[in-house]
Amino acid sequence: MKAAVFDLDGTLIDSAADIHAAGNAVLAVEGLPPVTLEQSRSFVGNGAGVYIQRLIAACGLAPDPVLEARMYRRFLEGYETAVGLTTLYPGVEAALRDLQADGWVLAICTNKPVAPARAVLAHFGLLDLFAAIYGGDSLPQRKPDPAPLLATIADLGDPQTLFVGDSEVDAECAVRAGIDFALFTEGYRKTPVAQMPHQISFADFADLPAKARLWRA
């Protein structure tokens, strides 16, 4: 059995606009200036807690655990159901269904909290495709720590696994877990493709099923 474990933000979905709106709403409540979409996008990848820390730093403020905790709670309240500005990357649904038809088991390992992860997958009618979903609050550790990815794979019965993601966080997680990595090049990465460890790369989800069939064929 083969499994494909997917990151979510920047891989299957472009959620940057919803994250940006939710972040700026929290800043507004605190009387702090908004950040730009590009700033917000650059803060994504290490989980909601780190995102809030980066928002605070962008406002020129020193670390403040009380402010951070308050903003984190407000952010999650608004973000749990924030799906209106989020889009699937082109070809995602067809690729997932093609992989499943080929006998692949599918799962999610994301640093997004699990409730909004499930909410956005349900919004797009994809929730039932995934046999396991691990979010950034499922374990004490988050990617790039390999624990969430290894736990996801264990839940699937330890199949031969390909991890699909878009970022430096995902690439490092795959290396540390000893799992082959498929890099979606059109997500939120900041590093040139050639400098990121990967076994497969693709810019169009229409190409993923064919490349997956050749992987360890």
Which pLDDT belongs to residue 81?
83
Tally the C-alpha atoms within 13 A of residue 104's C-alpha that lie toward its C-beta. 25
Burial call 22-59: b when 16+ CB within 10 Å, e when fewer: bbbbbbeeeebebbeeeebbebbbbbbbbbbbbbbebe
Taking each helix axis from N to C end, the angle separating 16-29 and 48-58, rounded to the nearest 10 degrees, works out to: 60
Residues of the chain with CATH 1.10.150.240: 16-79
CATH for 2-14+86-214, options being 1.20.120.1750, 3.50.50.60, 3.40.50.1000, 1.10.1740.10: 3.40.50.1000
Catalytic residue positions, numbered: 7
CB neighbours of residue 207 within 10 Å? 14
Which pLDDT belongs to residue 175?
98
Which pLDDT belongs to residue 217?
63
Residues of the chain with CATH 3.40.50.1000: 2-14+86-214
Residues of the chain with pLDDT under 50: none
Class of domain 16-79: mainly alpha
Q: Exposed (0-12), middle (13-18) or buried (19+): which is 19, by Cβ within 10 Å?
A: buried
Q: Exposed (0-12), middle (13-18) or buried (19+): which is 203, by Cβ within 10 Å?
A: exposed
Q: Which amino acid makes up residue 162? A: L
